[in-house]
Structure 1
Amino acid sequence: MPKNRGKEGRDDYLFGESFMKRKIKEAVYDMSFLLERGYGEASSCELVGNRYKLNKRQQQAIKGMSAGESAVQNRKSRQRSIQEIKNQALIIDGFNQLILLESMLSEAYLFQGKDGAYRDLSTLHGTYKKVNQTLEAIDLVKDFCRENSIIKVLWVFDKPVSNSGRMKTLLNTYAEENGLNWEILLENNPDKVIAESKNIALTSDAWILDRANSWYNLIEVLIPKNYPFLVTCE
């Protein structure tokens, strides 16, 4: 089992304040400008990456942080407050939120986009592997749900991802042991299921945020104050 999630050896250099603070803000501004004018994400990222001499990992970061102004306003118009989610049902983008929490608990770099959502640099590559922080991440979700009287949680995982079945078993057992009203689904197209749900979505996936009926920014309330590895475009 991998020890931690997300952070790589050169990340302190690639995203350290002295090296990246100004460059990443300008790169995100430029890429967002291009996206707002209809340029494709891949071509915009490549153009900006070349302009600022960013490597692939830095380009991945600015891709997650960038969004056109109309997309930002669209997403924020459907973002729910903590008061609005109390006593409601939630639908969780399983791997998306779980890996984000694992990354946070591992003290990996997180990146807050122009839409306010948080993203990391972890990739599945078709396989999910538990880390030391997996159960602690699930505990955070449990505590959050209890504190806000969430009536039901629907976790949705990508069925083709290896070990998704094991995660379903783990969460079912966890929910039973803790008396939680959780349901776990494995879907071939989880993004579509989440986007079309009437429940409040917990995700930072841009495609879902552009289409979901409503969403809540879970990481925003769980990330520690003054988290040392947070990169923003403010």
Structure 2
Amino acid sequence: MNNRNRGKNTGDDTLFASEKQISKLKSAVQDMQYLLTRGYPEKASAELAGNRYRFKSRQIQALRGASASEMQIQNRKLKRLEAADLKEKNVYLDGFNVLILLESLFSGAYIFEGADGCFRDLSGVHGTYKRVNQTMSAMDAVALFFRKNQLKKLVWIFDQPVSNSGRIKQLILDFAVENNLNWEAELQYNPDKFLAESSEIIISSDAWILDHCKKWFNLIGYLIEEENLSVNLIRML
């Protein structure tokens, strides 16, 4: 095993640790929600709000992830399921989105709760996925959720164009066999579109998928609350 993790970037404490910075982020989310609700484009809204508070690029990234229009927030809430709705159901999981977010959470990186109640981080795949020290902890957490809520089947969906996607797919399948879990793993060239068009329950915190899917479950929120996880959490509400 290697020594990689998905912890904080150098300088993240300066950007996110103080009450002053958190207060500015919360104000910026309100400003951006106002703009988005009135039809302003996301990128322009983030730049406008970010410039007002003199944010650095990672603060703007957090702001974009946490913000949504009133219509988006309402739409996502209407489609959100509770844990009790999952028993004996098939669930499709946005592989890299969920795995990297959980790896970041277990690494002590900053996790942001957005206006839609979803949780997001500042990590990304950037064309290549690299397994880290927290990968197995992330998979254990999903397995615990799977068993506790008696899901029928869980299907992990990964981006085929991402380097090492085949390896992580095999890791998931091996883990499922070892732990007697009814899991599958698939590679898709356009996983966002695949998940958005699926009639199954979706697990993701990707904004576009949440806007377009039929029904979804907030796994990260569930795990934080149900398992009382230790999280470096910033609530942007």
Normalising by structure 2, we get a TM-score of: 0.95
CA RMSD of aligned residues (A): 1.3
Cα offset for 1:37? 1.0
Cα pair 1:6 1:120 within 8 Å, conserved: no
Normalising by structure 1, we get a TM-score of: 0.96
Distance 2:12 2:110 in 1: 8
Aligned pair 1:188/2:192, yes or no? no
Distance 1:175 1:21 in 2: 40
Matches within 5 A, 1:3-14: 3-14=4-15
Distance 2:13 2:231 in 1: 11
Aligned to 1:60: 61
Aligned to 1:229: 232
Number of equivalent positions: 234
Cα pair 1:2 1:129 within 8 Å, conserved: no
Aligned pair 1:153/2:154, yes or no? yes
Gaps of 5+ in 2: none
Distance 1:116 1:56 in 2: 23
For residue 230 of structure 1, what is the amino acid of its counterpart?
L
After superposition, the C-alpha distances for 1:36-81 in whole angstroms (9 at most, x for unaligned) are 1111111111111111100000000000000000100000000001
SS at match of 2:212: coil
Gaps of 5+ in 1: none
Aligned to 1:203: 204
Cα offset for 1:17? 3.2
After superposition, the C-alpha distances for 1:149-203 in whole angstroms (9 at most, x for unaligned) are 1100111000000000001111111111112111111011001111111211110
SS at match of 1:161: coil
For residue 148 of structure 2, what is the amino acid of its counterpart?
E
For residue 104 of structure 2, what is the amino acid of its counterpart?
S
Cα pair 2:105 2:231 within 8 Å, conserved: no
Cα pair 2:223 2:229 within 8 Å, conserved: no
Cα offset for 1:226? 7.8
Cα pair 1:13 1:19 within 8 Å, conserved: no
Distance 1:170 1:229 in 2: 27
